[in-house]
């Protein structure tokens, strides 16, 4: 990894947490090799060109996350001090000075994390934005646009489009995508790459998103856009750049056809009024199991996603649907190094044994499918409004929880309709609860944390999960189906109505970690919280 800033080491007076080494140890390094067996020289060249393009998004992501962390990270490049080496690695893991698993408190320095990260002025508040919009209503669209950064300029808020703010990185990224298109033997994939290159320089991703969903069983694929809004804790609308280079696992992908077949029926069965669950009949539901030999931006720092449902644009959902991607190499690492060791410590052995890779994969498949189900827009007094805008900063956590419990509702539906075997149901529920324990160890700073903490507390309240006299957690299989179905109905209704206050009240009631769980989690302290992927390719932050 290389940087361009001065390589002087960390200043002696800069405060660094004393337990830095223990924090670094919570992330297990795992190799994610690029496997070239069976690939032609041209295909290998294509992958290298895609990796090159992805590298430019890495440089943007740091500037969105924490520009000061980037300066510090680069300054440590040449230092041999053990503290500097550890600090540099932890800066890399978080892409910021703020610790994801410690409530986003600073692990270096004392500055608190600005909720708007690098998207807004550090001292800007949501109340200020809302007051400003009341006075300048014609500027709302630009300020709330997913693809603008907001700055003060001569006493006014100014929205600068991404394609202008980050042009020096986006132009070479677009050139690399076009070069990759010239190397591709798949005309549809080449077309998508060229359209996505155009999108980088216009911030109009709609045409390329449609082309992406039209790909049929591509051998290679990429995620390459500022899709996710998890990082924006001020307004909850700004997209952070992320990228992944993916090689298809054809054998595993074939198995997904069964699930795709029933997506329209599951949408129709959701506990919502018909007007809030637009039909999915005739829409695309492409699903791919892939190996990801390289990821950057929001897909390689902090929480390591094992699956994705993209794009997030509700216009695309209405016209085409969405694509579900499952990163098998990341999923296998999570199950083997984190989930199974954790549940062996926390759950009754008989139920812990039911937590399996297959159960986790099936639950993850349904989670990603259900990101694309439910309402496409919020139905408010002001008319049809984007759910993200209507709910605000809590949207990411609400959507993650909705996908979790609606996914379990969908699995129960598939079992009830004879699509999946009834004898697998306990395995599915055990794997779902096991993952709640894994995510709880992140705390509630990351979107998945408050989501799954809220789910866990609700299941406790309903008696679907409880802690026995031995200090082990047990699932009541007779109660958990009803509890998850009821929770799915609540969260789907919040999204359908765009009721921000209802969402805030619900999470305020349920998203805090109970004391007994904090105590229970102490026995997992020597188990990794997550993985730290190591790629075959060099990673450069410019």
Q: What local confidence, expressed as pLDDT, does residue 437 receive? A: 94
- Spatial distance between the Cα atoms of 314 and 335, rounded to a whole number of angstroms: 32
Pair 478, 488: CB distance under 8 Å: no
Q: What is the DSSP string of 74-106?
A: HHTTT---HHHHHHHHHHHHHTSSEEGGGTTEE
- Spatial distance between the Cα atoms of 308 and 531, rounded to a whole number of angstroms: 17
Pair 95, 61: CB distance under 8 Å: yes
DSSP state letter for 424:
G
DSSP state letter for 205:
-
- Spatial distance between the Cα atoms of 540 and 542, rounded to a whole number of angstroms: 6
Q: What local confidence, expressed as pLDDT, does residue 101 receive? A: 85
Q: What local confidence, expressed as pLDDT, does residue 210 receive? A: 96
Pair 109, 97: CB distance under 8 Å: yes
b/e map 319-328, b = 16+ CB within 10 Å: ebbbbbbbbb
- Spatial distance between the Cα atoms of 5 and 3, rounded to a whole number of angstroms: 6
Cβ count within 10 A of residue 250: 11
- Which of 481, 349, 485 is CA-nearest to residue 422? 481
Q: How many CA atoms lie within 13 A of 53 on its CB side?
A: 29
pTM here is 0.83
| Three-class secondary structure assignment of 370-396 | HHCCCCCCEEECCEEECHHHHHHHHHH
CA angle 233, 234, 238 (to 5 degrees): 75
User: What region, left, alpha or beta, does residue 155 occupy, with left being phi > 0 and alpha being psi -120 to 50 degrees?
Assistant: left
b/e map 6-42, b = 16+ CB within 10 Å: eeebbeeeeebbeebeebbebbeebebebeeeebeee
337 Cβ contact list (under 8 Å, min separation 6): 28, 30, 528, 531
Report how far Cα 135 is from the mean position of its chain's Cα atoms. 34
Q: What is the pLDDT of residues 127-144, one digit of tens each?
A: 999 999 999 999 999 999
- Spatial distance between the Cα atoms of 530 and 526, rounded to a whole number of angstroms: 12
- What φ, ψ does residue 482 adopt, rounded to 5°? -65, -40
* Each residue's pLDDT expressed in tens, for the chain with a length of 542 residues: 333 444 456 676 789 999 999 999 999 999 999 999 999 999 999 999 999 999 999 999 999 999 999 999 999 999 999 999 999 999 999 999 999 888 899 999 999 999 999 999 999 999 999 999 999 999 999 999 999 999 999 999 999 999 999 999 999 999 999 999 999 999 999 999 999 999 999 999 999 999 999 999 899 999 999 999 989 999 999 999 999 999 999 888 888 888 989 999 999 999 999 999 999 888 777 889 999 999 999 999 988 999 998 999 989 988 888 898 999 999 999 999 999 999 999 999 999 999 998 899 899 999 989 998 999 999 888 888 889 889 998 998 999 999 999 999 999 999 999 999 999 999 999 999 999 999 888 776 666 788 999 999 999 999 999 999 999 999 999 999 999 999 999 999 999 999 999 999 999 999 899 999 999 999 999 999 999 999 999 988 98
- Spatial distance between the Cα atoms of 98 and 100, rounded to a whole number of angstroms: 6
Report how far Cα 59 is from the mean position of its chain's Cα atoms. 19
Strand runs (DSSP E) across 186-274, as ranges? 220-228, 240-248
Q: What local confidence, expressed as pLDDT, does residue 8 receive? A: 54
Q: Which residue in this structure is represented by tokens 């660094």? A: 16
- Spatial distance between the Cα atoms of 49 and 294, rounded to a whole number of angstroms: 12
Report how far Cα 475 is from the mean position of its chain's Cα atoms. 27
- Spatial distance between the Cα atoms of 46 and 181, rounded to a whole number of angstroms: 8
Say whether 62 sits in a helix, a strand or coil: helix
Supply 393's token pair. 């900063």
Burial group, residue 123, by CB count within 10 angstroms (0-12, 13-18, 19+): exposed
Strand runs (DSSP E) across 175-318, as ranges? 220-228, 240-248, 287-297, 307-310
- Spatial distance between the Cα atoms of 481 and 478, rounded to a whole number of angstroms: 7
- Spatial distance between the Cα atoms of 368 and 305, rounded to a whole number of angstroms: 11
Q: What local confidence, expressed as pLDDT, does residue 333 receive? A: 93
């Amino acid at each position: 990894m290389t940087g361009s800033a001065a390589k002087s080491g960390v200043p002696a007076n800069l405060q660094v947490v004393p337990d830095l080494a223990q924090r670094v140890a919570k992330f297990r390094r795992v190799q994610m090799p690029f496997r070239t067996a069976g690939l032609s020289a041209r295909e290998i060249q294509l992958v290298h060109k895609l990796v090159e393009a992805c590298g430019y998004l890495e440089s943007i992501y740091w500037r969105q996350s924490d520009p000061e962390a980037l300066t510090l990270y680069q300054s440590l490049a040449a230092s041999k001090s053990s503290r500097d080496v550890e600090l540099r690695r932890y800066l890399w893991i978080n892409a910021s000075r703020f610790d994801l698993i410690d409530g986003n408190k600073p692990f270096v320095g004392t500055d608190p994390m600005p909720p708007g990260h690098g998207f807004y002025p550090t001292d800007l508040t949501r109340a200020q934005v809302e007051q400003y919009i009341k006075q300048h209503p014609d500027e709302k669209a630009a300020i709330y646009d997913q693809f603008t950064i907001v700055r003060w300029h001569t006493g006014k808020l100014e929205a600068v489009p991404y394609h202008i703010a980050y042009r020096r990185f986006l132009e070479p990224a677009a050139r690399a995508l076009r070069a990759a298109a010239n190397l591709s033997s798949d005309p549809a994939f080449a077309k998508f790459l060229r359209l996505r290159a155009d999108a980088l320089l216009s911030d109009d991703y709609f045409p390329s998103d449609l082309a992406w969903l039209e790909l049929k069983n591509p051998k290679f694929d990429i995620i390459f856009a500022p899709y996710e809004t998890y990082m924006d804790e001020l307004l909850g609308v700004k997209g952070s750049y992320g990228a992944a280079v993916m090689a298809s696992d054809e054998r595993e992908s074939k198995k997904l056809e069964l699930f795709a077949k029933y997506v329209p029926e599951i949408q129709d069965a959701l506990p919502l009024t018909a007007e809030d669950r637009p039909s999915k009949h005739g829409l695309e539901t492409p699903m791919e199991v892939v190996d990801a030999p390289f990821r950057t931006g929001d897909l390689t720092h902090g929480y390591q996603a094992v699956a994705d449902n993209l794009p997030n644009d509700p216009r695309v959902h209405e016209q085409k649907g969405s694509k579900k991607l499952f990163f098998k190499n990341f999923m296998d690492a999570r199950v083997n190094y984190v989930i199974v060791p954790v549940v062996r410590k926390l759950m009754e052995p008989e139920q812990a044994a039911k937590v399996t890779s297959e159960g986790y994969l099936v639950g993850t498949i349904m989670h990603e499918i259900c990101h694309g189900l439910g309402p496409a827009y919020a139905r408010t007094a002001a008319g049809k409004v984007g759910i993200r805008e209507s709910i605000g900063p809590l949207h990411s956590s609400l959507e993650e929880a909705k996908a979790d419990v609606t996914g379990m509702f969908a699995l129960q539906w598939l079992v009830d309709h004879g699509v999946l075997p009834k004898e697998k149901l306990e395995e599915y529920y055990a794997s779902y609860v096991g993952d709640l324990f894994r995510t709880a160890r992140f705390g509630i700073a990351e979107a998945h944390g408050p989501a799954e903490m809220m789910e866990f507390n609700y299941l406790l309240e309903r008696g679907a999960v409880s802690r026995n006299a031995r200090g082990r957690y047990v699932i009541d299989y007779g109660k958990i189906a009803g509890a998850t179905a009821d929770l799915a109905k609540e969260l789907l209704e919040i999204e359908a109505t765009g009721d921000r206050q209802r969402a805030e009240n619900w999470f305020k009631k349920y998203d805090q970690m109970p004391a007994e769980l904090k105590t229970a989690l102490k026995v997992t302290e020597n188990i990794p919280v997550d993985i730290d992927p190591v790629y075959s390719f060099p990673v450069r932050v410019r």
